[in-house]
Amino acid sequence: MQELLQQVVSGIATGGIFASLALALVLIYNAMGLVNFAQGEMAMLATFVALALIDHGMNYWIAFPVTLVIAFAGGIAIERVVIRPVERAPILTLVIVTLGLATLINGLAGFIFGYVPRAFPSPFPVQTVNILGALASYQDLGVIAVSAVVLLAIYLLLQHTTVGLTMRAAAHHPEASRLLGVRVSWMLALGWGLASAVGSVSGIMVAPILLLQPNMMQTIIIYAFAAAVLGGIESPIGAVVGGVIVGVTVNLAGVYLPFVGGDLQLAVALAIIVGVLVLKPNGLFGRPSVRRV
């Protein structure tokens, strides 16, 4: 029981990491109906930026928000430079563009920073704390806390600010929004900036565990897809709930199913993706898509 509880806490922490990246995917999906395959690589690049800042002597808790701001600006820049010229292209074109972007960023990071895995500092102590008889690491609790704060901030931004309202309006009905004076194209860029910032949180949180190298996010993005699909790809809350469920499930499966172990955890995520798409294509929080014909 005690061990189960421990594994659940650690699963929630992993889930928080997945949730941040899944939320980034959902933000862009909502804004333009596109799955951004470059989301993981954007997060990886941001993590390298964070490491560079810390290596230059910046305090972790200053480097963290500074990195988010840089990632935000970078996301906007990518939207303006790479996405905007093909904004009205068929969705398949956009998907290919994001795949190309992923390859480009990956290669760029390898070129600049090399492929040798680097240690990334964690701000949380290595000790454990006893909660209700279970031992939880400060690392896990810290990741949970950081993820929760970031996700809550995004929720408040989208639901309770004017800019969040207009972003949702632009995503929902671009034509009508434009006539109401919303700068739809700019809202799209903001969406990319926001997604880039949220996604980079997952990179920074996972780097101390996985070690930082250009391919670091390539498995994490699969888990994030699983989380987003499970939550219903259009639902921000779904992404968070999906992230936590995937995190806990994968963690428990790795510990309690001997044939899964550490090697087949990714297969569990893929099984979740396939299972959801077959059994409940709209996910837990998604709405069935209805089209007026």
Partner 1 sequence: MTLLDVRELSVRFGGVVALDRVSFTVDAGEVVALIGPNGAGKTTLFNVVTRVYRPTSGSVLLDGEPVSRMPPHHVVRHGLARTFQNVALFRSMSVLENVIVGDHTRTKSGWLQSTIPLPGTVREEARARTRAMEMIHFVGLDDVAARPVAGLPFGTQKRVELARALVSKPRLLLLDEPAGGISHEEVDATARLLRRIHDELGTSVLLVEHHMAFVMGISDRVVVLDFGRKIAEGSPGEVQRNPAVIEAYLGAA
Instruction: Give the nearer residue to partner 1 in terms of CB position, either 280 or 287.
Output: 287
Total of chain residues touching partner 1, rule CB under 8 A: 23
149 lies in the binding site for partner 1 (CB under 8 A): no
Instruction: Give the nearer residue to partner 1 in terms of CB position, either 104 or 165.
Output: 165
In angstroms, rounded to a whole number, what is the distance separating the alpha carbons of residues 284 and 276?
9
Q: Residues 173-212: x/- map of binding to partner 1 (CB under 8 A)?
A: x-xxxxxxxxxx-x---x----------------------
One of 73, 163, 274, 277 touching partner 1 (CB under 8 A)? 163
One of 89, 129, 165, 274 touching partner 1 (CB under 8 A)? 165
Q: Least distance in Å: CB of 79 to partner 1?
A: 14
Query: CA separation (Å) from 265 to 107, 140, 230, 279?
Result: 27, 19, 16, 21
Instruction: Give the nearer residue to partner 1 in terms of CB position, either 118 or 178.
Output: 178
Contact residues for partner 1, defined by CB under 8 A: 157, 161-163, 165-166, 168-169, 172-173, 175-184, 186, 190, 292
